């Protein structure tokens, strides 16, 4: 998967020829290392997908341009009297409000994925976590963007998990993992998590 940076967005030049286009088009100058690509995209698509100069984008298998979003997620687990449980939260906002996910967030400039995860959990759930090994990276195309999510095992090091942004939370056993409606990208991780909880 090639990741490009949007270097410049200009109005597409239609010239003097007749065109069947019914909406304004934009010309994107994309760069990946020494490679430069030019792509036309409807201006309405730019807004809908949140694509702007300086953002990263990818091409899907069908040639569609999607904004590239890189995040981290913590699969926080604990041993409850011999029963393994993992912590999940329900989103409190947006199009997927009420859907369940593993907590985490975006990686800021200069952060490693592990540092980002520690900061995000502290900001969203007030606790300090210890980040363990990486489970895997999920690559998932949502309608408006491509999500690249580094998923790590984690445990609570100090403090308590208190909800600041999510609308609900649950500690789930392996048998309960399919009792909640997971976000599509997070659902890709459920089989890995279920096997580890056996």
What is the reported pLDDT for 16? 45
Note the pLDDT tens digit of each residue in 49-63: 999 999 999 998 888
Angstrom distance (rounded) from CA 104 to CA 150:
10
Contacts of 25 by beta carbon, 8 Å cutoff, 6+ apart: 11, 12, 14, 40, 41, 42, 43
What is the reported pLDDT for 20? 63
Angstrom distance (rounded) from CA 105 to CA 89:
13
CATH code assigned at 186: 3.90.79.10
Tell me the whole-structure pTM to 2 decimals.
Answer: 0.85
Our CA angle for 142, 9, 67, nearest 5°, is 15
**Residue 126 is assigned to a structural domain of this protein:** yes
More confident residue, 171 or 163: 171
Query: Which one of 38, 59, 80 terminates a domain?
Result: 59
Note the pLDDT tens digit of each residue in 164-190: 888 999 999 999 999 999 999 999 999
What is the reported pLDDT for 190? 95
**Residue 81 is assigned to a structural domain of this protein:** yes
Q: Which domain holds residue 20?
A: 4-59
């Amino acid at each position: 998967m090639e990741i490009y940076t949007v270097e410049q967005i200009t109005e597409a030049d239609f010239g003097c020829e007749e065109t069947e286009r019914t909406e304004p088009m934009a010309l994107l100058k994309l760069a990946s290392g020494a490679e430069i690509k030019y792509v036309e995209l409807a201006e309405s698509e730019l807004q809908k997908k949140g694509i702007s100069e300086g953002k990263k984008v990818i091409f899907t298998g069908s040639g569609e341009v999607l904004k590239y979003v890189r995040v981290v997620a913590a699969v926080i687990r604990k041993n409850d009297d011999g029963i393994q449980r993992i912590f999940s939260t329900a989103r409190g906002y947006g199009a997927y409000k009420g859907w369940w996910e593993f907590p985490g967030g975006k990686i800021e400039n200069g952060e490693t994925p592990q540092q980002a995860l520690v900061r995000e959990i502290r900001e969203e759930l007030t606790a300090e976590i210890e980040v363990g090994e990486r489970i895997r990276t999920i690559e998932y195309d949502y309608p408006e963007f491509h999500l690249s999510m580094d998923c790590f095992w984690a445990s609570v090091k100090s403090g308590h998990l208190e909800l600041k942004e999510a609308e609900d939370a649950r500690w789930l056993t392996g048998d309960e993992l399919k009792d909640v409606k997971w976000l599509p990208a997070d659902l890709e991780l459920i089989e890995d998590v279920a096997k580890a909880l056996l």
